[in-house]
A and B are shown apart, each in its own frame.
Chain A
């Protein structure tokens, strides 16, 4: 059984616009990854716990409501607090360019804004595959 890359796609907060998240999930499946989709209205705590139980390699957060500055870093912090620093967190949605540096400083390694082709997301994952620890 080959080692598979597992990715959690989640929507934190109250935003219910899941077209993008669902598309990413499906496209990543087509690219050969195992994608666990949590659905909408996930608290950062639920996302972190799910990511740990599923032992995922990546967590992708999708948010269009503007609450990213509060919610994305919290997911990262919760993962770190539980010793899951190996999990790579990325995000997407309606996120202004000027917020990206701060998010990156807080551990969100990539932000994919509207119009990003899926191949960029896949490129990000394949590039980071070498960092996988097990």
Chain B
């Protein structure tokens, strides 16, 4: 191994002769510098002993194991990342309008946001839905709403990502049924369902059923799509929300990959072979503020997942080892104060995601901390991506920061820390067990608390909030959702229930309940049939609630 002793000696000389003089007169701003996630940042990175073997083993080439430099051989020289803005609110009609607007403005993929009742399997007329209908996303109660949502949008020409977890099977069924009505066969459909229940239990909260039956539903979807919808990403294993809950960058990767391991194990236990489904797994990460740490984070994640799939699960197909991911810029980093500053934050975060090699990207709008994005704000967010893609030049060389001493050393450091967590979680008996024990929640909460304490004390500067503040800010235009929406949706539901063949629906729901009892039965075909017959989301989920029970939150404070 080549030594870099001469460099180290020279550095010592530099420290003694040149650096010391400056430090004696002007000490550095802080005693210790860390990344946003408290990893130590050296004053200066110098080449570590780095041989050709190191390069080949640790970096390699894009599109080739261990994929550190990217999952495609041409990356953005071949095709830009998909610009996919998360959108949805109010009624299916309003959301449909927003989708058409975004597509006309150059967005290249759809991303559907559902309201909380939909995400938690309640119809709009359910008492749990009061105040929530159409607020954080579109209200979808039945196939009828889904048809309106995609009216005029040919599903064989767009790829659609749906942020839906506990009732993902139902929304996927609705989507397939809409495509059928458009005359499009399932195997032509491209898109993603988030379908990542584990993180719901500790970072997002939209769970319905307990872990075991939820994993069953997930593996049902894997199997169904492997056979029938092969171009569909059956899961988007998410770290975004974990980071938003306050975790560090290391925890974001570690807990996401640990969730991934759990899903792979479940699918194998359900009888699938790893190469059958692993190519359809995808991931979803956060793009946070600390540019260098974030870039390193994405690279480390790719390398670790490749190793896990190859070594732990003996995957043979390279597609099974590729960590393909969507990124969203970190919503919790955006401020209500001086919202225009958020445009700058999002730009830095966009760079992080692009330099980190993301496959698709959502950029937040400047009014993130105030409410849902206005058309103006979302346009700027989209333009941010377009400017980086077309004007910045960073897309013209693949993994351009590779070889940077600080980037490689951070990538290695993050990888090391992630492995530590993965081993710990394995010791605890796996992710489900670790969640039950409260270990994951505690790690995240401690990090969140520390972060917030630093903001409160001013140690961590948030421009416009704890420094460079402005006394009286002008009021901002924000998007408002019609509060009468619940009534509108309830009336729709009543109409649907009148128009459909009630006997057929009842029968299909009953059959679904029976099927749910048998662990070996794949529930997707049953759900699809019920969806076609205009059974509502709530009706389908209630049948499953009866069979599976509901998850009880366990708190760790």
A–B direct contact (CB < 8 Å): yes
Q: B543 on the interface (CB 8 Å rule)?
A: no
Report the minimum CB–CB distance from B138 to chain A (whole Å). Answer: 13
Q: A126 on the interface (CB 8 Å rule)?
A: no
Report the minimum CB–CB distance from B447 to chain A (whole Å). Answer: 10
Cα A40 to Cα B132 with chains together (Å): 14
If A14-B120, A40-B205 touch, whether A69 touches B131 (CB-CB below 8 Å) is: yes
Complex interface: chain A residues within 8 A of B511 (CB)? none
If A65-B136, A96-B371, A114-B335 touch, whether A22 touches B557 (CB-CB below 8 Å) is: yes
Q: B51 on the interface (CB 8 Å rule)?
A: no
Interface residues of A in 86-134 (CB under 8 A from B): 94, 96-98, 113-115, 117-119
Complex interface: chain B residues within 8 A of A96 (CB)? 370-371, 478
Complex interface: chain A residues within 8 A of B135 (CB)? 65-67
Complex interface: chain A residues within 8 A of B369 (CB)? 94, 114-115
Cα A119 to Cα B448 with chains together (Å): 17
Report the minimum CB–CB distance from A22 to chain B (whole Å). Answer: 6
Cα A43 to Cα B122 with chains together (Å): 15
Question: Are the CB atoms of A13 and B204 closer together than 8 Å?
Answer: no
Q: B71 on the interface (CB 8 Å rule)?
A: no
Question: Are the CB atoms of A23 and B449 closer together than 8 Å?
Answer: yes
Complex interface: chain A residues within 8 A of B448 (CB)? 19, 22-23
Question: Are the CB atoms of B336 and A39 closer together than 8 Å?
Answer: no
If A17-B205, A37-B555 touch, whether A67 touches B449 (CB-CB below 8 Å) is: no
Interface centre among A15, A25, A40, A67 (most CB of B within 10 A): A67
Q: B248 on the interface (CB 8 Å rule)?
A: no
Cα A41 to Cα B553 with chains together (Å): 10
Question: Are the CB atoms of A40 and B465 closer together than 8 Å?
Answer: no
Question: Are the CB atoms of B557 and A26 closer together than 8 Å?
Answer: yes
Residue-wise, chain B 124-160 has the 8 Å CB interface mask toward A (1 for contact) of 0000111110011000000000000000000000000
Which single residue of chain B is at the shortest CB-CB distance from A67? Answer: B131
Report the minimum CB–CB distance from B521 to chain A (whole Å). Answer: 30
Which single residue of chain B is at the shortest CB-CB distance from A18? Answer: B205
Complex interface: chain A residues within 8 A of B372 (CB)? 66
Q: A71 on the interface (CB 8 Å rule)?
A: yes
Complex interface: chain A residues within 8 A of B449 (CB)? 23, 26
Question: Are the CB atoms of B335 and A14 closer together than 8 Å?
Answer: no
Interface centre among A25, A39, A119 (most CB of B within 10 A): A39
Question: Are the CB atoms of B116 and A115 closer together than 8 Å?
Answer: no
Q: How many A-B residue pairs have CB under 8 A?
A: 98
**A25: contacting residue among B122, B205, B557, CB under 8 A:** B557
**B116: contacting residue among A14, A97, A98, CB under 8 A:** A14
Which single residue of chain B is at the shortest CB-CB distance from A71? Answer: B131
Interface residues of A in 14-34 (CB under 8 A from B): 14-19, 22-23, 25-27
Question: Are the CB atoms of B205 and A13 closer together than 8 Å?
Answer: no
Which single residue of chain B is at the shortest CB-CB distance from A118? Answer: B456
Report the minimum CB–CB distance from A47 to chain B (whole Å). Answer: 13
Question: Are the CB atoms of B117 and A14 closer together than 8 Å?
Answer: yes
Report the minimum CB–CB distance from B200 to chain A (whole Å). Answer: 8
Cα A67 to Cα B122 with chains together (Å): 16
Complex interface: chain B residues within 8 A of A118 (CB)? 452, 456
**B553: contacting residue among A40, A65, A67, CB under 8 A:** A40
Interface residues of B in 328-387 (CB under 8 A from A): 332, 335-337, 369-372
Which single residue of chain B is at the shortest CB-CB distance from A117? Answer: B456
Residue-wise, chain B 480-499 has the 8 Å CB interface mask toward A (1 for contact) of 01010000000000000000
Report the minimum CB–CB distance from A74 to chain B (whole Å). Answer: 9
Which single residue of chain A is at the shortest CB-CB distance from B204? Answer: A16
Interface residues in A, total, Cβ within 8 A: 34
Q: Is the interface of B mostly helix, strand, loop or mixed?
A: loop
Q: B466 on the interface (CB 8 Å rule)?
A: yes
If A65-B132, A96-B478, A118-B456 touch, whether A113 touches B336 (CB-CB below 8 Å) is: yes
Complex interface: chain A residues within 8 A of B128 (CB)? 14, 43
Q: A85 on the interface (CB 8 Å rule)?
A: no
If A94-B369, A94-B371, A96-B370 touch, whether A71 touches B130 (CB-CB below 8 Å) is: yes
Interface residues of B in 26-71 (CB under 8 A from A): none
Cα A73 to Cα B273 with chains together (Å): 53
Question: Are the CB atoms of B370 and A94 closer together than 8 Å?
Answer: yes
**B130: contacting residue among A25, A27, A70, A117, CB under 8 A:** A70
Q: B206 on the interface (CB 8 Å rule)?
A: yes
Interface centre among A22, A26, A119 (most CB of B within 10 A): A22
Question: Are the CB atoms of B116 and A15 closer together than 8 Å?
Answer: yes
Which single residue of chain A is at the shortest CB-CB distance from B448? Answer: A19
Report the minimum CB–CB distance from B214 to chain A (whole Å). Answer: 15
Cα A67 to Cα B449 with chains together (Å): 26
Residue-wise, chain B 417-458 has the 8 Å CB interface mask toward A (1 for contact) of 000000000000000000000000000010011001000100
Cα A27 to Cα B449 with chains together (Å): 9
Question: Are the CB atoms of A114 and B456 closer together than 8 Å?
Answer: no
Q: B259 on the interface (CB 8 Å rule)?
A: no
Cα A69 to Cα B204 with chains together (Å): 22
Report the minimum CB–CB distance from A45 to chain B (whole Å). Answer: 10
Cα A37 to Cα B555 with chains together (Å): 9
Interface residues of B in 86-126 (CB under 8 A from A): 116-117, 119-120, 122
Report the minimum CB–CB distance from B405 to chain A (whole Å). Answer: 35
Q: B393 on the interface (CB 8 Å rule)?
A: no
Report the minimum CB–CB distance from A89 to chain B (whole Å). Answer: 16
Cα A86 to Cα B131 with chains together (Å): 26
Q: Which A residues fall within an 8 A CB radius of B?
A: 13-19, 22-23, 25-27, 37, 39-41, 43, 65-71, 94, 96-98, 113-115, 117-119
19 A–B contacts from the bound complex (CB under 8 Å): A13-B130, A14-B117, A14-B128, A15-B132, A16-B204, A16-B206, A22-B445, A40-B205, A41-B553, A66-B132, A67-B131, A70-B130, A70-B483, A71-B130, A94-B371, A97-B475, A115-B335, A115-B336, A115-B369
- Extra 7 A-B pairs, beta carbons < 8 Å, given A22-B445, A115-B335, A118-B452: A13-B132, A14-B117, A14-B120, A14-B128, A15-B136, A16-B200, A16-B206
Which are the 6 A-B pairs with shortest beta-carbon distances?
A16-B205, A70-B131, A67-B131, A66-B135, A14-B116, A115-B465
